[in-house]
Chain A
């Protein structure tokens, strides 16, 4: 099956720093990538949808200036959490969709962010 990787798998940072998370599709071209956030004991919440070469579409309540998304190639999307604060501590998961199976999303293993 299609493989999606994320890096780093976990990160601990100080409040006020920025953190970049990478999401890569390893064996297919991801025309669309999705970024989710999951707080403990809660569901995955879609943050934004990014299409290769265009600006991301953010869900209501997600600050686009705080969560910068770049989808510069068909195999890579990045999420940068700018000026991270403790309330941004969460599990961030990306998923990717390709042209061949547009109804299916392939999930990355997630990145656990802890902001001190």
Chain B
């Protein structure tokens, strides 16, 4: 079983749609959690950290359920510029463990 598993993609959505990504992790000792965004042939960029209480940054909302070892990302009112691969990332013992990513394509 992979340490971090994500929804298989790709997700093809129209502009303005709401899209949700799910992620599960296997290491219950994981300490911190993140969503990264990666554009084609580029390095990953931190989108947001994920906190147990849930957190929001503009159109992006992240949730963490430690009991279920589940992380989610909700994107509202999606834009063309949101097209990218979204990586669920877990910090376990000081190391970042990346999910395989979910590709999002937002169409006009």
Number of interface residues, chain B, beta carbon within 8 A: 17
Asked if A8 is an interface residue, CB under 8 A from chain B, the answer is no
Q: Which single member of A42, A93, A108 contacts B100 (CB below 8 Å)? A: A42
B residues less than 8 Å from A108 (CB atoms): 43
Complex interface bits, A85-116 against B, C-beta within 8 A gives 1, otherwise 0: 00000010101000000011101111010000
Residue A19 CB within 8 A of the other chain: no
A residues near B61, Cβ cutoff 8 Å: none
Digitize B30-49: 1 where CB-to-A-CB distance is under 8 Å, 0 elsewhere.
00100000000111111000
Q: What residue of chain B has the Cβ atom nearest to residue A6's Cβ?
A: B43
CA distance A39 to B99 in the complex (A): 13
Q: Which of A43-51, A67-75, A76-84 contacts B (4 or more CB under 8 A)?
A: A43-51
Q: Which residue of A lies closest to B100 (CB)?
A: A43
**Residues of A contacting B101 in the complex (Cβ-Cβ under 8 angstroms):** 43
Which listed residue, A42, A91, A105, A109, touches B96 by the CB 8 Å rule? A105
Q: Judging by beta carbons under 8 Å apart, are A44 and B98 in contact?
A: yes
Query: Shortest Cβ distance from B88 into chain A, in angstroms?
Result: 10
Cα-based distance from A108 to B44 in the complex (angstroms): 9
Does B62 interact with chain A (Cβ within 8 Å)?
no
Shortest CB–CB separation between residue B67 and chain A, in angstroms? 23
Q: Pick from A43, A46, A104, A112: contact of B99, CB below 8 A.
A: A43
B39 to chain A, nearest CB (A): 11
Q: For residue B100, which residues in chain A have a CB less than 8 angstroms away from its CB?
A: 42-43
Q: Once the chains are docked, how many angstroms separate the CA of A113 from the CA of B40? A: 16
Specify which chain B residues have a CB less than 8 angstroms from the CB of A45 in the assembled complex.
98
B residues whose Cβ falls under 8 Å from a Cβ of A: 4, 32, 41-46, 87, 91, 95-101
Report which A residues bind B (CB closer than 8 A): 34, 42-46, 49, 91, 93, 95, 103-105, 107-110, 112
